[in-house]
Amino acid sequence: MASMRAIRIQGFGGPEVLKVSSVERPTPKPGQVLVQIKSAGVNPVDTYIRAGTFGPRPFPLGLGGDAAGIVAAVADGEKNIKVGDRVFTCEGPGPLTGTYAEYALVPTRAVFPLPDSLTFSQGAALGIPYLTALRSLIIKAKSKPHETLLVHGASGAVGLAACQVASSWGMKVFGTAGTDDGLQLIKANGAGAVFNHRDKNYVQKLREAVGEHGFDVILEMVANHNLGVDVELAAVDGRIVVIGSHGEAKFEPFHMMGKEVTVAGVMLPHSTDEEWRIIGAELVKGINSGHVRPVIDQEFPLEKAPEAHEAVIQHTGGSKGKIVLTL
């Protein structure tokens, strides 16, 4: 049997458990596609799985749910995908084999065409970030074009995706970042007003900028630090969607009651087939229109996966787009 290089962790732990080994190349079954991976996306959820945050998993365990590459094999009877196609994939946490590898099995429903206008690294930055942003905005927040949006921590991959798509819909987008480079980046990607969340007065500045109405929708990347602020800044009937958190959050529930604010979490794998169809179609629409423009922060070779995980963990203060592995 043919072999391939892949990362398979033997137990939970820190980034040091990410080791490249030689494993058997998988063969697609009906409903599956084998993709030769050219670039794999590294997402915060990968670090949670690696550390055991999401509970028991079978070992050895492959990581990675985002990737882009070339179709290497399809199961008999598959007519819509052919060998040689440029594609990107998105499985979310819980992939069939993991995309931190030279080849990966992915379900047919999770394979999308990658246009020549995007690089493989950009393709690896599409799935989880953009579909999470779209599920947050469309399914969870039920956003409308005229509404105000605060992306709290906007310079990471999901935040930039949200800025791009929301601004293309006509939403009034406000974004925060922790560095001057990050502020310039989110402004260039659709945020009409930007604020440095390391400025001790940034909350007051946000309040003055949005006015008495408050924010109709808030996407929150670090809820343990910011949820209390979000509840205060939200409009009446405001919707806060929690996309990321690194610990316990403290906030005053009275502000939720007084303004009837809704706080919802989002986790892409919980999407129904219909939701998957809706957000997938919107993503393809954005790619074709040019509104979707993935931003790559850093690229690491497969052997440097531990460093890539460290970079993702450190991203909370100064994100500048997506981190990917190249093969």
Tens digit of pLDDT for each residue in 154-199?
998 899 999 999 999 999 999 999 999 999 999 999 999 999 999 9
Do 164 and 40 have their domain in common? no
Do 258 and 185 have their domain in common? yes
With respect to residue 106, please indicate whether it lies within any of the assigned structural domains: yes
Structural domain including 55 reads: 3-126+295-326
Do 100 and 172 have their domain in common? no
Asked if residue 93 has pLDDT above 80, the reply is no
Domain count, the chain: 2
Do 12 and 143 have their domain in common? no
Residue 185 CB partners (closer than 8 Å, separation 6+)? 155, 160, 177, 295, 320, 321
Question: How crowded is residue 258: how many other Cβ atoms within 10 Å of its Cβ?
Answer: 11
Tens digit of pLDDT for each residue in 44-78?
889 989 999 888 999 999 999 999 999 999 988 78
Do 136 and 216 have their domain in common? yes
User: What six digits make up the tokens of 51?
Assistant: 């550390």
Q: Which of 61, 65, 64 is nearest to 11 (CA)?
A: 61
Do 56 and 95 have their domain in common? yes
Three-state secondary-structure class, residue 34:
strand
Do 104 and 191 have their domain in common? no
With respect to residue 278, please indicate whether it lies within any of the assigned structural domains: no
Instruction: Using the 3D structure, point to which of 252, 268, 284 is the last residue of a domain.
Output: 268
The pLDDT score that the predictor gives to residue 94 is 66
Do 147 and 250 have their domain in common? yes
Residue 321 CB partners (closer than 8 Å, separation 6+)? 125, 155, 156, 157, 160, 185, 294, 295, 296, 297
Do 122 and 133 have their domain in common? no
The pTM is what?
0.87
60: cis peptide before it, omega within 30°? Answer: yes
